[in-house]
Amino acid sequence: MNALSVLINTYNEEHNIRNCLESVSWADEIVIVDMYSTDNTVAIAKEFSNVKVFYFENCGYADPAREFAFNQSTHDWVLVLDADEMIPKSVCTQIGAIIKEGKFDAISMPRKNYMFGEEILCGDWGTESILRVMRKESVIGFNQAIHSQFYLLKPDAKITCLPRESSYIIHFNYTNLEHFLAKSNRYTTIDAENAFNKLKKPLSKFKLILAAFIFIPKFMMQQRGYKNKFTGLTLAILMLNYHFSRYLKYKLMQKYHTIDTEAAIKQQYNEIAKRIIKEYK
């Protein structure tokens, strides 16, 4: 394989990082940008001879650190991977062949998602293809908004897509409901902050109201939620909750003119409490 750097952003990934690194041990260079993990993530990473570790402030999500990781890499091609993902051997072979051929600037790859102990066949999780391999000179910008395409390519960049039937990144996503809800709470806050800071377009009220009536049946039928049976129905409900949660958080930030809505509302409650106490004096 022509020279390639693997970029991995981490924070407290000791349960995943070894498997991830084993699956890309063939890479010429692995760049890990850690957000000051408090577990053994970095210690495990340093066991691998081709790993370079750098640090970046903890932003709560990886996207703001993607550009930094990109700039630490030294090879002409990069493969972007999350710590809870793995690259099967067959995909490694295909990546190497495409790079060697030299006809393309980037590779989009399907991703097989596992949640709650089963492969997810519905929604975007069952059909997604993500841009993860690219020639560095084809990258012209970066997007720091959460859940966005973080690398922006030249308009004339040539992209090839690996076939879903035989090629995919393995993604060990949510383990249980607690894991999903904890991440959902964090991500909806970040999503709302991104909209408040104009890093991304906020969800419209019209689309949210529409989603209240059609999202679940659409997810179950058109997006094949039925393929995961009860898990599919649960995911439809959870994702509808995700959209309503991020919208409410965004509207509260607008109302109080701050991302720290908890402090603003506590102050408001305190003023109400003071008025009540004053009635007794």
CATH of the domain at 164: 3.90.550.10
Note whether residue 237 is domain-resident.
yes
Q: Compute the mean pLDDT over every residue in the chain, rounded to the nearest whole number.
A: 93
Beta strands in 23-137 (DSSP E): 29-34, 51-55, 77-82, 85-86, 106-115, 118-119, 129-135
Does residue 96 sit within a domain?
Answer: yes
One domain, residues 200 and 185 = yes
The CA distances from residue 85 to 73, 138, 144, 178, in Å, are 20, 24, 20, 20
Q: What is the mean pLDDT of residues 23-45?
A: 96
In a domain, 281, yes or no: no
pLDDT grade for 179, boundaries at 50, 70 and 90: very high
Boundary-marking domain end, from 172, 197, 212: 172
Q: How many domains is the chain built from?
A: 2
Do 159 and 216 reside in the same domain of the chain? no
pLDDT given at position 4: 96
- Fill in the amino acid letter for 144: Q
Do 225 and 110 share a domain, yes or no?
no
Residue 165 and residue 197 in one domain: no
Task: Tell me the residue length of the chain.
Answer: 281
Last residue of a domain, one of 129, 157, 172: 172
Within a domain: residue 260?
yes
CA–CA distance, 127 with 278 (Å, rounded to integer): 60
Based on the domain organization, do 75 and 159 belong to the same domain?
yes
pTM: 0.85
Separation of CA 204 from chain center: 22
Q: Which domain holds residue 109?
A: 4-172
| Residue 56 vs residues 156, 166, 219: alpha-carbon distances, Å | 32, 35, 37
- Name residue 31's beta-bridge partners: 7, 52
Instruction: Read off the pLDDT of each residue in 223-228 and give the average, rounded to a whole number.
Output: 94
Which of 115, 139, 172 finishes a domain?
172
Instruction: Mark whether 199 and 106 lie in a shared domain.
Output: no
| % of the chain exceeding 90 in pLDDT | 83
Q: Would you state the pLDDT for residue 165?
A: 82
> Do 146 and 163 have their domain in common?
yes
Q: How confident is the model at residue 200 (pLDDT cuts 50, 70, 90)?
A: confident
Look at residues 145, 252, 268 and name the one whose alpha carbon lies nearest to residue 197.
145
CA-to-CA distance for 109 and 48, rounded, in angstroms? 25
Say whether both 253 and 187 belong to one domain.
yes
What average pLDDT does the segment 180-187 reach?
A: 94
